[in-house]
Amino acid sequence: MVPKVDEAENLARMERGELYYAFTPQLIAERQRCTRILGRLNRAGDLSRREIAEYWKDNNVVNLSDRLTKDDRPLPPPAATDEEEDAVLHEYPWIERPIRMDYGYNVAVGSNVFININCTIIDTCKVYIGSRTLVGPNVSFFSGTHPLDPDLRNGTNGPELGKPITIGSDCWIAGNVIILPGVTVGDGCTVGAGSVVTKIERKFKAEQDALKDKSAAPES
């Protein structure tokens, strides 16, 4: 049985990456809320770019706590053509369904992000995907983890923890990649298909500049 905890403090511990209990009434309800919203999105038929953005923001809800994400930017007025709609909605992600998340409100994305089919985001802690980043099919972002001590882990009755994930701008995360807790992928990086990523911090452009400097150096 999960011990009685202060729900507000438990949530704060989760977001700080400290040990917390996932199977409390509040967090169970939060995951059910996210599942309910994503279920509507995943079951919907053909959707326009605007309709996907509306699901992402869930603009139609009365209670703001029922929104999928914390993105409260107002959508721009509808444009005259599909091409113009694409341009005015570039701030919002293009999502190929299905997509799965635990909470939704710990996920944030930059502008013009593409997320391909079967993306899984375990957003125990914040998961950020930078602008113009492309996410391939079957990619998983796992910001949550469990204690290694089985006695402490204790099934669903024990505590869990997590670490944030940050994906820089202009990245390409190819298909079937798994991003583990605490990973930072630098701007412009490409992560090859099927990779399990434990740590990347370098920026592609910084590496390119270093190569240019090396090639420009006079021969000794």
Q: Which amino acid is at 211?
A: L
Cis peptide before 93 (omega within 30 of 0): no
Q: Which residues contact 6 (CB under 8 A, 6 or more apart)?
A: none
Q: Which amino acid is at 128?
A: Y
Q: Which residues contact 143 (CB under 8 A, 6 or more apart)?
A: 106, 121, 122, 123, 124, 125, 126, 127, 162, 163, 164, 165, 181
Kindly state the tokens that stand for 154: 């204790």
Task: Tell me how crowded residue 142 is: count the other CB atoms within 10 A of its CB.
Answer: 20
Q: 147 with 165: CB under 8 angstroms?
A: no
Q: Distance between CA atoms of 56 and 49, rounded to whole angstroms?
A: 11
Q: Distance between CA atoms of 134 and 132, rounded to whole angstroms?
A: 7
Which residues have a catalytic role annotated?
146
